[in-house]
Copies of this chain bind each other. A is one copy, B any other.
Amino acid sequence: MHHLRLIKPDGRELSLYARHEMTMDMVAPSPSAEPMNGNPHMRWHPLRGEWVAYASHRQNRTFLPPPEYNPLAPTSDPAAPTEMPVGDYDVAVFENRFPTMTPLAHDAPELTVPTQPGTGACEVVVFSQDPHGTLGTLPVDHIALIIDVWADRTAQLGARSDIEYVMPFENRGTEVGVTLHHPHGQIYAFPFVPPLPARELSQQQAHWDAKGTGLLADHIAAERSQGVRMLYEGEHAVAFVPICARYIYEVWVAPIRPAASLCDLTEAERLDLARALKTVLLKYDGLWNRPFPYLMILHQAPTDGQAHPEAHVHLQFYSAFRSEGRLKYLAGCEMGAGTFTNDSIPEEKAAELQAVAVTLD
Contact = CB atoms under 8 A, between A and B. Distances in A.
A243 B332 contact: no
Interface stretch (A83-91, A137-145, A334-342): A334-342
Interface in A228-246: 243-246
B47 A204 contact: yes
B196 A55 contact: no
A30 interface: no
A306 interface: no
Contacts of A56: 343-345, 348
A167 B336 contact: yes
A321 interface: no
Given A244-B45, A336-B196, A342 B170 contact: no
A344 B337 CA distance: 25
Contact of A327 (B177, B222, B344): B177
A347 B100 CA distance: 18
A119 interface: no
Contacts of A296: 332
Interface string A141-170: 000000000000000000000000101011
Nearest to A48: B199
B243 A338 contact: no
A330 interface: yes
Interface in A193-212: 194-200, 202-204, 207
Interface string A210-228: 0000011001001000100
A331 B200 contact: no
Interface string A323-361: 100010111110111111111111010000000000000
Copies in the complex: 2
A186 B296 CA distance: 31
Contacts of A337: 165, 167, 188, 190, 194-197, 297
Contacts of A339: 50-53, 190, 194-195
Contact of A342 (B55, B199, B295, B331): B55
B55 A336 contact: no
A176 interface: yes
A340 B318 CA distance: 17
Nearest to A98: B343
19 contacts: A43-B243, A46-B203, A49-B203, A53-B340, A54-B342, A54-B344, A59-B344, A100-B333, A111-B243, A113-B244, A165-B337, A167-B336, A177-B331, A188-B333, A196-B336, A197-B337, A295-B331, A295-B335, A299-B336
Interface of A: 43-56, 58-59, 100, 111-113, 165, 167, 169-171, 176-177, 186, 188, 190, 194-200, 202-204, 207, 215-216, 219, 222, 226, 243-246, 295-297, 299, 316, 318, 323, 327, 329-333, 335-346, 348
